[in-house]
């Protein structure tokens, strides 16, 4: 009896289901991963709690409210334009260009409102400007 040797059929590997499963796993990992930024150096920043100056130079305090209103030295400015604010700063400075302007802006104030204060100070010829912030709780 002569047995015929069967020809071996090459198994067919279907890669499409495998790719589908890998894509689902990849999407799951992308959605569930938290992205953290790690710095190369661990730096401990110094803390400075300096004493406030006893004799503060003459200064103009400009308060910026969350809705964009301005107050210059406890006097409200009628409008919200840079020209009106510049005129109020010129009047408050009395022509002294060495006066410090302290910008005390609300945390929710628009960035444009603070930029308007800086622009008005420049127009009034006042170049010394600083920003007020509250100290962190210890």
Task: Show the domains of the chain with their CATH numbers.
Answer: 59-131 (3.30.420.270)
Contacts 24+ apart (CB under 8 A), 69-76: 70/113, 70/117
Task: At 14, give phi and psi (nearest 5°).
Answer: -95, 115
Higher pLDDT, 26 or 80: 26
Convert the pLDDT of each residue in 2-14 to its tens digit: 677 777 777 788 8
- Read off the pLDDT band of 39 (50, 70, 90): very low
pTM over 0.95: no
Convert the pLDDT of each residue in 46-66 to its tens digit: 565 656 555 556 888 888 888
């Amino acid at each position: 009896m002569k047995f015929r040797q069967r020809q071996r059929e090459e198994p067919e590997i279907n890669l499409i289901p495998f790719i589908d499963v890998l894509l689902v796993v990849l999407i799951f990992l992308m959605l569930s991963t938290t992205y953290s930024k790690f710095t190369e150096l661990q730096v401990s920043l110094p803390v400075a709690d300096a004493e406030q100056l006893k004799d503060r130079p003459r200064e103009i305090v400009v308060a910026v409210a969350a809705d964009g209103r301005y107050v210059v030295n406890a006097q409200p400015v009628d409008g919200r334009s840079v020209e009106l604010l510049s005129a109020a700063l010129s009047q408050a400075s009395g022509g002294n260009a060495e006066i410090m302007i302290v910008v005390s802006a609300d945390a929710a104030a628009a960035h444009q409102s603070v930029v308007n204060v800086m622009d008005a100070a420049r127009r009034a010829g006042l170049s010394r400007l600083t920003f007020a912030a509250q100290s962190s709780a210890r």
